[in-house]
Chain A
Amino acid sequence: MAYWSNRNDTSLGRKLRDVNWGLVLLITVIASLGFTALYSAAGGDIDPWADRQMARFAIGLVIMVVIAVTDIRVWMRLSYVVYAIGVILLIAVELVGRIGMGAQRWLDLGVVHVQPSEIMKIAMVLTLARYFHGLSYEDTGRIRWLVLPLAIVLVPVALVIKQPDLGTAMLLLASSGAVFFFTGVRAWKFLLVIAGGGAALPIAWNFLHDYQKRRVLTFMNPEQDPLGSGYHILQSKIALGSGGFSGKGFMQGTQSHLSFLPEKQTDFIFTMFAEEHGLIGALVLIALYILLIAYGYAIALRSRSQYGRLLAGGLTTMLFLYVFINIAMVSGLVPVVGVPLPLFSYGGTAMMTLLVGIGLLVNVYVHRDVEIPRHMSGPLS
């Protein structure tokens, strides 16, 4: 019974051996496909995207492993701290944040630009997992135990909406909703919230910025303004559709290479990939993501601590949301929101967030048998 004999072996060597290298291989395969796509997007050049992306991935991989082998209890203790830092940075960005891409999202810390909403994606799951770790199933049925976690969710969501970054806000809401769901909050409460949210939509509409309203309207009818705001989605559909079943071939994507396709190296990279490799390529890529998400769930189910389960479940849901929203967006199923394709889209911040998240996922696997006492979730421990 190696399983039991290894239970309390917390040596680094054991942990390294325990790291789910299959998962690492999987994300490396996905990221490598991404490198080829970036190579193609640059017109057959490793510069300027593929090389940097590879470097980031390599660094991210190291960070991921470090995170994975660090004791899960350390992360648990740090959860609230990370969350607090995240909220403080969000407020800071609100006060002094530098304007980038038409929205206040970035914080200039001298050497690095930090995007606090990215930190918050991880911090939110960490915090909720830690909070719910201390609740019993009965507790989750009581409203008074849900007030604090709701506040934990809504404060950063409100700050992110203020930026304004509707896409991230929805992502935060949906992934924390999943954590609430996993922890056992009764189903009828979700239905109530969803119904209430639906009723509030017309009111919320008035608070949207013009460009946000336009995006939604454009989504409803992209042909209405083909050269304006509908341009992105129309061009994306043309590129996807013209790729056909088997694609135009590597580096042969006319729409992306002739710059009809906007943001082909970031948010719309899936379109370029599917234009060049067709439905076949798209299915392979989606299958890889499904495999990754299934891995995530498997890790969550294997964890013996509620903290580990919720953390893994929340992060996996987050991963799913990224993939789903991105592909649904580029294929015209949901409005255009700035969500990158995980491990694929060019961009350092998103890559780091993802690898940190996957690092924590692996961490849950490595520490799957570590039992964490309920009281550890207390705020002062």
Chain B
Amino acid sequence: MAINRRDNDLQRVFTRRALLLGTAQLGMFGALVGRLYYLQVMESHKYHLLAEENRINMRLLSPRRGRVLDRFGVELASNRRNYRVMIVAEQTRNVDATLEALSKLIQVDDTQRARVKREIERRRKFVPVVVAENLSWDDFAKINLHSPDLPGVQLDVGETRDYPYAHTFSHVVGYVGAVAENELGDDPLLELPGFRIGKSGVEKVYDERLRGRAGHSQIEVNAYGRAIRELERYNGQQGDDIVLTIDADLQRYAQERFGEDSGAAVVIDIHSGEILALVSNPGYDPNWFNVGITGPQWRQLSNDKYKPLINKAIAGQYPPGSTYKMLVGIAALESGNMTPETRVFCPGHMEFGNNTFHCWKKGGHGTMNFVSALEESCDVYFYEAAKRTGVDKIGEIARKLGLGDFTGIDLTGERRGIIPSKAWKQGALGQPWHPGENLVIGIGQGYVTTTPLQLAVMAARLANGGYAVPPRIVRKEEGFGPAADQRPASQRWPSLNLKREQLDLALEGMIRVTAPPRGTAAGARIMQAQYAMAGKTGSSQVRRISRLERETRVRKNEEKPWEERDHALFVAFAPISAPRYACAVIIEHGGSGAKAAAPVARDIMLECQKLDPSRKPRSAPGPTTASGITPPTAPGATKAGG
């Protein structure tokens, strides 16, 4: 019985304590339920958001970059398919073996291999690593065919910028390249790996319009970042196409006409200011920059003595030489110190102070007036004109005609040149102006420098009757072909307040330049009367001719090293009967303007008038269908010719 009593004690204690503990445990379960209620009901919304954040990964989609087209819709910069081959480490047992097999089909060198392996190690195993880009279709197809033997190899078609004309439009269109640290801005697109932005030319100036707006794709990812599926997609907005005023055919013609020569040419519509060709020779291949320029390529470009990276048409600053003479004469007339009847005798030189100023024609021109002095490019007449007029008055006219300041062209790297004045010299050099310096200014030498674009604008403003036409390279109006606005410059641009009769004398002189028997560029005239061109030659000294040289013998240009030869210039307008186009041509160290520059200008102007881009109706396929090189053909049906 004692045992039983003891057992009952134990049982009683057990029962009591089991109930106690059981109740406590039930209470703890209650706490669990409370906790779950808190998480799953009260805080559910918050965790729901967190869960979405967890699994949904926003990916930016790079928009299609807008194209750059010429005035007829020819693609100067477009996007081309980029065939790439990539390798996914987790899909192959042996990366080396796959690369080895791949190298039997396409070239995979050791540095490429090392880079691929480095990237594979850095990234997670399912991230594709690019082995080679910009493959030809043949290579791409070959890899595709052999893909069963290439475990882990993935083919991909992306997009890359393409410049079909390579060198021809390098300075106008520019190029794109990877985003630099200091270019990062608000646009998240810029942070996309591999994203390209405009680095020069129109690509840079109009980058934001060309770029478009980013799309995005919501991708469901797992904890390792592997994409599981796409939930939502917004493709963004592709970039605008930019239509240039350039005529691709004319540009190509002009570029080819330069051949090996280093120089620049600008063709402009004197009424609208539309630039029809803007050439800087030699060019470079912008496609090099797009894929990432190599060291040797970069050295080749930057060490080239012809400076292919510089857009000489807007950044090359040259003394205008005799092409400056029209405005010097106008300034002299304007100042009242000379009249159209004023005659100057040219004995081949002019004394001023202790110096002798030589005319290019040793024997002298005899008696000259404004028009004949232009015709024969007599230096002494313009020494006299400049001496009487003074640098400041000449500078005033020069600036009116567009020299000495930015023209405001929509391109990168424009320089302003120098149109000196007394104040300028005092400010820049801290020296007073010497009267003798006026004489040198009279023949466009000394401190005067201009860009070829400025000279073309000058020629345009002279030829359009003295209206302040501004140059532009991007079309303002929609569509292709001739601009809707065909009004003459006099109705579109403010007058420069130059006297008509003075201008006409300058133009008369220019017309006589290309006319036999005495015109300096008579040899480079256009024979077809309806295309006849007027112009002015210029040969600007690169270095001063020393007295010693002068006394012994002035070396001929051909005898000098290239760098010391004169720059050859020519400015022109055409046709004489109803001027429409103006141009400026410079051939660096080309020697005589008449011999080197004038023939180039003649051919360009003739071609320009034959093409007549300002009036020719649109003929190229529209922007939606154009791909690759589509040169404008015969007049199309969209618009009647003007």
Contact = CB atoms under 8 A, between A and B. Distances in A.
A178 B21 contact: yes
A306 B12 CA distance: 11
Interface stretch (B1-9, B236-244, B487-495, B551-559): B1-9
A222 to B, nearest CB: 12
Interface in B26-70: 26, 28-29, 31-33, 35-37, 39-41, 43-44, 46-48, 50-51, 54-55
A182 B22 CA distance: 11
Contacts of B21: 178, 181-182, 313, 317
Nearest to A242: B51
A374 B39 CA distance: 50
Interface in A308-324: 309-310, 313, 317, 320, 324
Given A178-B21, A181-B17, 9 more contacts: A137-B6, A241-B40, A241-B47, A244-B44, A255-B55, A300-B18, A306-B7, A328-B32, A332-B35
A282 B41 CA distance: 12
Interface in B210-238: 220-224, 228
A242 B53 CA distance: 11
B35 A278 contact: no
A259 B55 CA distance: 10
A211 B19 CA distance: 38
A137 B9 contact: yes
Interface stretch (A51-59, A99-107, A193-201, A232-240): A232-240
Interface in A232-286: 235, 237-245, 254-255, 258-260, 274, 278-279, 282-283, 286
A244 B47 CA distance: 9
Contacts of A332: 35, 39
B223 A258 contact: yes
B33 A283 contact: yes
A240 B54 CA distance: 14
A290 B13 contact: no
Nearest to B20: A181
The range of chain B's interface size is: 35 or more
A326 B228 CA distance: 30
B11 interface: yes
A61 B298 CA distance: 78
Greatest chain A CB density within 10 A among B25, B31, B55, B221 is at B25
Given A183-B10, A242-B50, A258 B44 contact: no
A240 B51 contact: no
B40 A274 contact: yes
A313 B14 contact: yes
A331 interface: yes
Contacts of A183: 10, 13-14
A306 B19 CA distance: 16
Contact of A259 (B3, B10, B224): B224
B303 interface: no
A238 B10 CA distance: 47
Q: Tell me the dominant secondary structure on chain A's binding face.
A: helix
B11 A309 contact: yes
Contact of A182 (B14, B37, B54, B222): B14
A136 interface: yes
A317 B7 CA distance: 22
A130 to B, nearest CB: 14
A327 B19 CA distance: 23
B50 A238 contact: yes
B18 A297 contact: yes
Contacts of B221: 258
Contacts of B39: 237, 240-241, 331-332
Contacts of A137: 6, 9-10, 13
A293 interface: yes
A46 interface: no
Contacts of A294: 22
A242 B15 contact: no
A306 B14 contact: yes
Given A136-B9, A286-B33, A300-B18, A240 B40 contact: yes
A138 B3 CA distance: 12
Given A260-B223, A283-B33, A300-B18, A242 B44 contact: yes
Contacts, number: 144
Nearest to A135: B10
B6 A293 contact: no
Contacts of A244: 40-41, 44, 48
Given A184-B13, A259-B222, A297-B18, A237 B32 contact: no
Contacts of B32: 286, 324, 327-328, 331, 333
A12 B44 CA distance: 53
A278 B40 contact: yes
Contacts of A138: 6
B47 A237 contact: yes
Given A238-B51, A279-B37, A297-B22, A306 B10 contact: yes
A42 to B, nearest CB: 15
A173 interface: no
B17 A245 contact: no
Nearest to B3: A374
A240 B36 CA distance: 8
Nearest to A331: B35
A337 interface: no
Given A137-B13, A178-B21, A260 B33 contact: no
A301 B14 CA distance: 8
B343 to A, nearest CB: 92
Nearest to A374: B3
24 contacts: A136-B6, A138-B6, A182-B17, A235-B54, A237-B39, A241-B48, A260-B54, A260-B55, A274-B40, A279-B40, A282-B40, A283-B33, A283-B36, A293-B25, A294-B22, A297-B19, A309-B14, A309-B18, A313-B14, A317-B25, A327-B36, A328-B35, A333-B31, A333-B35
Contacts of A274: 36, 40
B36 A331 contact: yes
Interface string A1-44: 00000000000000000000000000000000000000000000
Contacts of B9: 136-137, 184
A182 B10 CA distance: 9
Contacts of B228: 258
A186 B47 CA distance: 46
Interface in B154-180: none
B5 to A, nearest CB: 10
A331 B37 CA distance: 11
Contacts of B46: 241
Nearest to B35: A331
Interface string B395-427: 000000000000000000000000000000000
Contacts of A254: 51, 54-55, 220
Interface string A129-168: 0000000111000000000000000000000000000000
